[in-house]
Amino acid sequence: MIKKIASCIGEYKKNTILAPLLMIMEVLMDTMIPYIMASLINKGLSGNGDYNYVVKTGIIMLVMSVLGLAFGMTSGINAAIASTGLAKNLRTALFNKVQLFSFENIDRFSSSSLITRLTSDVTNVQNTFQMIIRMCVRAPLMMVFALIMSFKLNAKLALLFVVAVPVLAVVLYFIITNVHGFFKRMFKEIDNLNNDVQENLLNIRTVKAYVRESYEIDKFERISETIATIAKKAERILVLQMPVMMLVVNVINILLSLIGGKFAIYGDIQVGTLNTMFTYTMQILMSLMMVSFIMVMLVMSIASAERITEVLSEEPTLANKENPVTEVKNGEIRFEHVSFAYEKGEDKDVLRDIDLVINSGETVGIVGGTGSSKSTLVQLIPRLYDVTKGSLKVGGVDVRNYDMKALRDSVSMVLQKNEIFSGTIASNMRWGDKEATYDDIKKALDLSCASEFVDKYEDGYEYKIEQGGTNVSGGQKQRLCIARALLKKPKILILDDSTSAVDMKTDALIREGFKNFIPDTTKIIIAQRISSVMDADKIIVLDEGRVVGLGTHDELYKNNDIYREVYDSQVKGGDDDAA
Amino acid sequence: MPPRRPMGPPPKLPKGRMKEVFVRLIKIVSKGYVLNLVIVFACIILRAILSAYGVSLLKDLIDDGIRPMVGVANPDFHPLYLVVEKMAVTYILVVIMAWVQSRLMINVSQDALRNLRNAMMRKMQTLSLKFFDTNKNGDLMSRYTNDIDTIRQMISQGIPNLFSSIVTIIAVFYGMVRMSWQLTGFVIICLVVIVTVGKFLAGKSSIFYVAQQKSLGKVNGYIEEMLNGQKVIKVFNHEEEAVADFKTLNEDLCNNAKRASIFANIMMPVMAQMSNFLYFFVAVFGAAVIIKGYLPITLGTLIAFLQYTKNFTNPITQVSQEVTSVVMAMAGADRVFTLIDETPEVDEGKVTLVRVRVNADGTMEECEERTEHWAWKKPTEDGFELVELKGFVEFKNVVFGYNEEKIVLNDISLYAKPGQKIAFVGHTGAGKTTITNLINRFYDVNSGEIIYDGINVNDIKKSDLRRSLGIVLQDTHLFTGTIRENIRYGRLDATDEDVVNAAKLANADYFIRHLKDGYDTVITGDGGMLSQGQRQLLSIARAAVADPPVLILDEATSSIDTRTERIVQDGMDKLMDGRTVFVIAHRLSTVRNSKAILYLENGKIKERGTHEELLSMRGDYYKLYTGAYELE
């Protein structure tokens, strides 16, 4: 894990090494100064005093302090460059990696989890990394240097530290490990609470409709109380930390005063030495506190680092073969005994032994109930997933032999879950064709019946789309998505329930346009309503992952029970959607 | 995941409002804990004084305990022991004070936070839908998360630290002046320089911090949008463009973050070394003074004084930090209070819903046990009267708009007799859903009236009105919990058997049984593992278990494919049997057998009648119905 993340340091290696090195120098200055201070007091102020010595040592200390400042600042600057640089590289690496992901990879992580990994997890790692290259060097070094210097001053007094430091370390360790468990539980409860609030906001109509306000309040207050209880328990331990540390330090100081005082009276040490020993006590205490703080941060960010590494180590499940075919000849599709399963294991197949031929330029409808795997079937065509068994050929070539980019350029698909992006209508359209002119866009929008509302916008094609496409209606969004797909000038066009929010008249107009203007493109249409596929050259009826009917409307109506049932429910008795 | 806070620094409150918020917050915090707080503040004061005193003991240690005895043949250790004893007592007391102070604050702060959270939720549940329409969910969420957290920091750290810093400054200042006012004056002058530099750096740093947060917001927004649309990116081979755009934003963020981080990082060494400088100046200056004999200062005084200078700079930098944190917390507290102060949904209804027993003579009598009968309990001048709940709903010249300017429903009059099924059809935005929102008083009419069993709905207590109406919404959101709990949401005292029966009625039983844990399968994340259709089935089951006399189905089957719908239809028919039903549907097959179908356009009823009547009218309904054939 550390290796994976460290490899993202990249061009910031120099800064990553410089920051702790400079920090060493700063710490060295910080611990040397009290030592010199001791001699200033001891030598400069003993007897009648030595004014020149005082000024001389004063200047030395000042120079050291300025050096310390310079080292400290440059260390800080390098650390800043290294940590923000690492964050940048991590984000780039993650983002680029996700771009290589297949649908299977995306499904495995889920979008929201990927978003967390790219945002808050990266920030956590960035902060921790900065801490590691600064504080993780500073804290232990400070302690070691302070100990060395105090031994140099007076070894007998310094023995006090040797006893005290382990005691403190044990106490701190005890507190941190105890508190950690409580905090983990508390964060979980806080998640629950947030989740509860969010659900209440989303479900506010349901809550009100069923008059469950007091029920929801009770539920919320239970979680709220749990949080308060756990937090109290955790803090009760946590508040021991500072007093315990102070206690140890104060005991050291008292002992120093007593023993050091006696030494001074006997003339073994001088007052300046005693004073400096007090300073070292503080430095040692501070570095221990820093260590305990670092430990907490480290534990918290390890989880983040792990989540990031997971993404970075994920292997894309689909890859181009060597010397892939880069041209799709035509829009012919052949399923040869294709089976498919999302997960391994027996009886997990969601498509079973599909054998189909769709000729170039044909219009094919697919109908079937929820869970009959209609979407799965079409997603195999642009190789969004690989077949588990059998072979799928487009233009006479197995899809696995194509260059994926070339294949997907020729197979244009409008997904069931449509997304348009923030930007303008034109910028969204140019996803389909980077060089598309207004004329090209107009043609596509005309064909998808989107011109009728786009032309009404004052800004026309430069109309701004909000993030998530919230400022167009569902039906408008679907038509824009169809236009975008058309701009690819595909050999195969797949619409996965893409006109469900479009009214029937418009839906029919769009299909009419397809027939007249893109006759050579193979068109595959998945639809809930039969009227959307009735006039297709071929209709495929799917049920539980099997083809249970194939033929024209008239044939199926005669011979296929399922088809007839659906049709009757929708049309014969008189139906249909009226958006 | 909690929503991200809107980027940039929180807006500052005007002074007057800040004081108001502060006082109110203090009142909430001190509620029931006045004694605790008094002790806490006493501890803080004592601790500061004792710490300052402890430093002055250093002088005694050196000047009285050590120096007089140095070189003496048979030294007297008593003065030394005496000082060390004093030190021991003082230091131990300081530790105890520190512990008592933070220990007592735990309950104070945690209880205050809990009370604030609960108060928000209690109020939120009473607010009208209009409130939720006009406030973003993310914004409301952040009050429970970010704002509460800033308040927590302020209560448990900000205010105690601020107070303690101020007291320490005073105590140390006093101790310093007592030792040597000349040296103190020297320290103060140096401090002014340090504070000025610190302020300059902090100001610069905050400018860069804001810039950093802004580009962080941009990058995170881009990540969110692209990853949510990742499948579209794949389908369109848009990976390279996405990477290129991301690169620009990411570089930008890196540059801004670098600057902000550099300033934050150099803050620490700069402040530390500056206080070091001060220390040296005092040391050299003091030593010179002692040597030259300008001032009557002893070595002990100088050493204690040096210690004071160290103890002086820390609280000064801390004061400015804590003030910022308190100001930020005030902005958060203000947002919390704004929510708590929202005016709840008005409910002047006096008529309540009660269970009744029907006696042999046809009279009704209120009762506790579950019967098949309900009645409206209507207060009259002398007691009350019972009106049987039948489900007769009437709209009289109803006009409504979500806001004053935009009228959505115009002069709607209609009625549904008990047990009738009334359907609304029309294009999106015609006002179908709005009509049903008025029946259960999610919103109130602008003019006109809605009469329910002869009673104006405004006279019925909202909760009782809603209890009499079952509703299945188009967007089905579920709650974290088991499937069983989600269905039982319709009626909390439903038995397991009731739940299963309801699920069977809605045809949900089959798929529920095929889930891993059946009815005990835990739904998380709004039921993401279930399809939209399955969620709708659960929502129908939820309404079925509630068993209401009036049912509102708003696109209840829109995400269920037609074949499944036919199977569900059977259950739906059973569910609708004997109830007044208002149904909104895209699919005309769902509305065909309604008693009356109303065709809405632009908030007006354009056509009404039975399916056959409307077809024979050859109007809009006919067009809608036959839309498919028009082109052929």
Q: How many residues are present in chain A?
A: 579
Query: What is residue B627's predicted lDDT score, i.e. its pLDDT?
Result: 53
Restricting to A residues 341-380, those with a Cβ less than 8 Å away from any Cβ of B are 369-371
Main-chain dihedrals φ then ψ at residue A324, nearest 5 degrees: -70, 160
* Reported confidence tier of residue A89, pLDDT bands at 50, 70, 90: very high
Number of H helices, E strands in chain B: 21, 16
The interface pTM score, or ipTM, of the predicted complex is 0.83
Low-confidence winner among A79-83, A230-234, A525-529, B453-457 (lowest mean pLDDT): A525-529
- Find out whether A418 and A494 touch, Cβ atoms under 8 Å: no
How far apart CA B59 and CA B178 sit, in angstroms, is 12
How far apart CA B124 and CA A213 sit, in angstroms, is 9
How do strand A492-496 and strand A522-526 relate by DSSP bridges? parallel
% of chain B beyond a pLDDT of 90: 24
Put the strands of the sheet holding B421-426 in their side by side order.
B469-472, B550-554, B580-584, B421-426, B596-601, B604-609
How far apart CA B627 and CA A574 sit, in angstroms, is 11
CA A576 to chain CA mean position, Å: 42
CB contact under 8 A, B290 and A531: no
What sign for the dihedral angle of Cα B32, B35, B41, B44?
negative
Q: Is the pLDDT of residue A527 over 80?
A: yes
Restricting to B residues 267-296, those with a Cβ less than 8 Å away from any Cβ of A are 268-270, 272-273, 276-277, 280, 283-284, 287-288, 290-292
Query: What is residue B360's predicted lDDT score, i.e. its pLDDT?
Result: 82
How many other CB atoms are found less than 10 A from the CB of residue A378? 24
How many other CB atoms are found less than 10 A from the CB of residue A389? 15
How far apart CA A467 and CA B221 sit, in angstroms, is 9
How far apart CA A96 and CA A169 sit, in angstroms, is 43
How far apart CA A285 and CA A279 sit, in angstroms, is 10
How far apart CA A190 and CA A196 sit, in angstroms, is 10
As a whole number, mean pLDDT of residues B434-443 equals 88
Q: What angle do CA B614, B619, B621 make, to 5 degrees?
A: 60
> Is residue B189 less than 8 Å (CB to CB) from chain A?
no
Q: How many residues are present in chain B?
A: 632
Structure tokens at A272: 């300046």
Residues of B within 8 A of A221 (CB-CB) are 118, 121
Which of B43, B215, B236 to probe the A interface (max A CBs under 10 A)? B236
Residue of chain A whose alpha carbon sits nearest to that of B476: A203
How many other CB atoms are found less than 10 A from the CB of residue B372? 9
The per-residue pLDDT for range B520-530, each reduced to its tens digit, is: 988 876 666 67
Structure tokens at B299: 């070595």
Q: Which of B81, B232, B479 sits opposite A419 (nearest CB)?
A: B232
Residues of B within 8 A of A467 (CB-CB) are 221, 225
How far does B16 lie from chain A, in Å, by closest CA? 31
> Is residue B480 less than 8 Å (CB to CB) from chain A?
yes
Give the H or E element holding residue A3: helix A2-6
How many other CB atoms are found less than 10 A from the CB of residue B291? 17
Low-confidence winner among A274-283, A569-578, B184-193 (lowest mean pLDDT): A569-578
The per-residue pLDDT for range A282-308, each reduced to its tens digit, is: 888 888 888 877 877 787 788 889 989
Q: How far is CA B18 from CA B14, B15, B321, B327, in A?
A: 6, 5, 18, 8
How far apart CA A557 and CA A555 sit, in angstroms, is 5
Q: Is the pLDDT of residue B24 over 90?
A: yes
CATH 1.20.1250.20 assigned to domain A1-138+300-317? The reply is no
- Candidates A437, A468, A442, A467; CA nearest to A455 is A442
The neighbouring-strand residues paired with A389 are A339
* Reported confidence tier of residue B3, pLDDT bands at 50, 70, 90: very low
Q: Is this structure's pTM higher than 0.90? A: no
Structure tokens at B320: 């400015």
How far does B281 lie from chain A, in Å, by closest CA? 8
Residues of A within 8 A of B129 (CB-CB) are 204-205, 208
How far does A428 lie from chain B, in Å, by closest CA? 11
The neighbouring-strand residues paired with A547 are A542
As a whole number, mean pLDDT of residues B450-459 equals 92
Q: Is the pLDDT of residue A450 over 80?
A: yes
The per-residue pLDDT for range B229-284, each reduced to its tens digit, is: 888 888 888 888 899 999 999 999 999 999 988 988 888 888 888 888 888 888 88
Restricting to A residues 51-70, those with a Cβ less than 8 Å away from any Cβ of B are 51, 54-55, 58, 61-62, 65-66, 68-69
Q: Is the pLDDT of residue A348 over 80?
A: no
B208: helix, strand or coil: helix
Restricting to B residues 411-470, those with a Cβ less than 8 Å away from any Cβ of A are 425, 427-428, 440, 442, 463, 466-467, 469-470
How many other CB atoms are found less than 10 A from the CB of residue B171? 22
* Reported confidence tier of residue B428, pLDDT bands at 50, 70, 90: low
CB contact under 8 A, A201 and B132: yes
Q: What angle do CA A444, A450, A456 make, to 5 degrees?
A: 120
How far apart CA B245 and CA B561 sit, in angstroms, is 40
How far apart CA B627 and CA A243 sit, in angstroms, is 80
Query: What is residue B549's predicted lDDT score, i.e. its pLDDT?
Result: 84
Structure tokens at B606: 């354009």
If you classify domain A333-572 with CATH, what class do you get? alpha beta
What sign for the dihedral angle of Cα B595, B600, B604, B606?
negative
Domain locations along chain A:
1-138+300-317, 333-572
* Reported confidence tier of residue A111, pLDDT bands at 50, 70, 90: confident
Place of tokens 């008292």: A254
How far does A303 lie from chain B, in Å, by closest CA? 15
> Is residue B627 less than 8 Å (CB to CB) from chain A?
yes
Q: Which of B239, B273, B565 sits opposite A72 (nearest CB)?
A: B273
The neighbouring-strand residues paired with B597 are B423, B609
Query: What is residue B563's predicted lDDT score, i.e. its pLDDT?
Result: 66
- Find out whether A349 and A323 touch, Cβ atoms under 8 Å: no
Structure tokens at B389: 């709940």
The per-residue pLDDT for range A5-53, each reduced to its tens digit, is: 888 888 999 999 999 999 999 999 989 988 988 888 888 877 677 888 8
As a whole number, mean pLDDT of residues B6-27 equals 75
* Reported confidence tier of residue B632, pLDDT bands at 50, 70, 90: very low
* Reported confidence tier of residue A574, pLDDT bands at 50, 70, 90: very low
Place of tokens 């030394």: B80
CB contact under 8 A, B230 and A111: yes
Give the H or E element holding residue A495: strand A492-496
Residue of chain B whose alpha carbon sits nearest to that of A86: B254
- Find out whether B399 and B446 touch, Cβ atoms under 8 Å: yes
As a whole number, mean pLDDT of residues A460-464 equals 91
Give the CA radius of gyration of chain B: 37
Q: What is the mean pLDDT of chain B?
A: 84
> Is residue A469 less than 8 Å (CB to CB) from chain B?
no
How far does A393 lie from chain B, in Å, by closest CA? 18
As a whole number, mean pLDDT of residues A442-462 equals 91
CB contact under 8 A, A88 and B99: no
* Domains of chain B listed by start with CATH number: 12-175 (1.20.1560.10), 352-388 (no CATH), 393-630 (3.40.50.300)
How many other CB atoms are found less than 10 A from the CB of residue A515? 12
Q: Is the pLDDT of residue B132 over 50?
A: yes
Q: Is the pLDDT of residue A260 over 90?
A: no
B564-572 long-range Cβ contacts below 8 angstroms, 24+ apart: B564/A369, B564/A370, B564/B507, B564/B533, B565/A569, B565/B589, B565/B590, B566/A565, B566/A569, B567/B507, B568/B506, B568/B507, B568/B537, B568/B540, B570/B507, B571/B504, B571/B505, B571/B506, B571/B507, B571/B540, B571/B544, B572/B506, B572/B540
